[in-house]
Structure 1
Amino acid sequence: MHASSRIRTRRSFDSCPFCDGTSAEATSNGQLATIDCLSCGNTVLRYDLRPGHVADRNSLQALKAADRQMRAEVSSALDGVCQRCGGSSILKFLSGSEAEPVAVLVVCDCQQCGTRLSAPIEIAFLRHPEVGSRYWDNSVQVTTTPIWEMLPALSD
């Protein structure tokens, strides 16, 4: 793995959805980036990290690029289309111990290639027009603000 494929950066966010901590650390092994709360140790988000995300970007830019990619994949999967192969995705919701540490997990399974995409339900809410307009009214750009900065407000 090349040094350029590693990410290690500390970020601030409004509050951790698990403990209300305000510091996070993003790290990567070159294939997966994680954003972990420094207060409670829970993983707030995980992103697939592709070579292009880190090729010519600094750590924060790479995380934002992965965030944009994840949004596109989630949006497509929620519409029933796998971003990887174009096959049909089946949507289901998990809660309780199956979804921990989040309350409800959205899971999309591609029937063609087997790709599984899962995300806290709050991420799916971002597609709803009322949610977008509420953020817009508060001067927050739903389409460009990284998910990790928006999760606490969505949880509320």
Structure 2
Amino acid sequence: MDDDASTDVFDVVSQATRADILRALADFHRSEGADARLAYNDLRKRVGERDSGNFTYHLDRLDGLVEGGADGYRLSRVGMRVVSMLRSGFLDTDWTWGPVDAPGECWTCGDDLCLRYEAGALHVTCGDDDHALALYVPPSFLQSQPRDVVAERAGFLENRWGSLTRAGVCSECSGRVKGELELWHGDPEHYVYHGDCHHCGFQHVLPVGLFLLGHPDVLAFHFDHGVDVRTVPFWTLDFCEPGAESVVSRAPLRVRVVVEAGCETLSLTVDGDGEVVETERT
């Protein structure tokens, strides 16, 4: 894939009329279906452009994003992706949201938590920026979800992120992720899984517990105790806390995570590549 071609798309849609055309078609598809086509004059009216020559020029510039024909226009699959990106809000660096009360206590100081979106991330915070956890969910998620379920559904998205990373798939571009356990020199010092996307370069850094949150054995263990752990905010789970893991050996590296539910425990031993090499349930 050519990075220059992807950059060209940003240049094309940065013009207001072109962005309005894409949004108008997206709104049309929402009411009429993905395969429906909108006639030229109807599309121009929806955009509010009186100059047909200027409108035609900008419509032509959307070749590849908009498909045209005798019966009208519709978004291409690429065009739909572009509209989704534009409407996600990820590109609006000034957008803010919250604060909203969140379950759990700060891992560092034990204070109450809230959710607050700023600077491109949803922060789980006690108010001290040094203690905050950053969740990469888009503004569209926060605008469309009821506030009383945001924490639960944000937890689900983070669970999905860990599961994709463990499967070697980048949550950002679906490229290949390869990584290993690394010692993170924070406070406390702890191990993380550090995955590198070989396609987009995104760096996936997860505490070991969060990395294992969607593992089949962890899911089954909680299910047996009547809990769908995928919908539990990970920051309320002790085994996801940085430093909750223990080192079994350093050569070769083996790290153990212990999950508790009821009167039972599940121990998972992970090797340096992030593979679960042993489980024990007691």
TM-score by length of structure 2 reads: 0.46
Structure-2 change in CA distance of 1:89 and 1:133 (3 Å): same
Structure 2 residue aligned with 1:33, among 111, 118, 122?
122
Residue pairs, 1:65-144, within 5 angstroms: 65-97=153-185, 99-101=186-188, 103-144=190-231
Structure-2 change in CA distance of 1:102 and 1:137 (3 Å): farther
- Give the Cα separation in 2 of the matches to 1:24 and 1:146: 12
Report the CA distance between 1:100 and its aligned residue. Answer: 4.2
- Give the Cα separation in 2 of the matches to 1:30 and 1:118: 19
Report the CA distance between 1:85 and its aligned residue. Answer: 2.1
> Which amino acid is 2:165 matched to?
A
Residue pairs, 1:46-65, within 5 angstroms: 46-65=134-153
Report the CA distance between 1:60 and its aligned residue. Answer: 4.3
Structure 1 residue aligned with 2:102, among 2, 11, 14?
11
* Kept in 2: contact 1:92–1:108 (CA 8 A): yes
> Which amino acid is 1:46 matched to?
A
Alpha-carbon RMSD across the aligned residues, in angstroms, is 3.1
Task: Report the identity percentage.
Answer: 19
Report the CA distance between 1:31 and its aligned residue. Answer: 1.9
Deviations 1:14-42 (A, max 9, x none): x44334x2511221116201112469962
> Which amino acid is 1:77 matched to?
T
Q: The residue matched to 1:143 in structure 2 has which SS?
A: helix
Report the CA distance between 1:3 and its aligned residue. Answer: 9.8
Of residues 111-120 and 85-94 in structure 1, the stretch that sits farther from structure 2 once superposed is 85-94
* Kept in 1: contact 2:155–2:231 (CA 8 A): no
Report the CA distance between 1:113 and its aligned residue. Answer: 0.7
Larger helix share, 1 or 2: 2
Of residues 116-125 and 24-33 in structure 1, the stretch that sits farther from structure 2 once superposed is 24-33
* Kept in 1: contact 2:213–2:219 (CA 8 A): yes
> Which amino acid is 1:55 matched to?
Q
Which one has the largest radius of gyration?
A: 2
- Give the Cα separation in 2 of the matches to 1:100 and 1:34: 18
Structure-2 change in CA distance of 1:135 and 1:60 (3 Å): same
Of residues 115-124 and 68-77 in structure 1, the stretch that sits farther from structure 2 once superposed is 68-77
Report the CA distance between 1:7 and its aligned residue. Answer: 2.1
Larger RCO of the pair (alpha carbons < 8 Å, separation 6+): 1
Unaligned runs of 5+ in 1: none
> Which amino acid is 1:18 matched to?
T
Unaligned runs of 5+ in 2: 1-91, 245-257, 259-282
- Give the Cα separation in 2 of the matches to 1:22 and 1:138: 28
Structure-2 change in CA distance of 1:2 and 1:60 (3 Å): farther
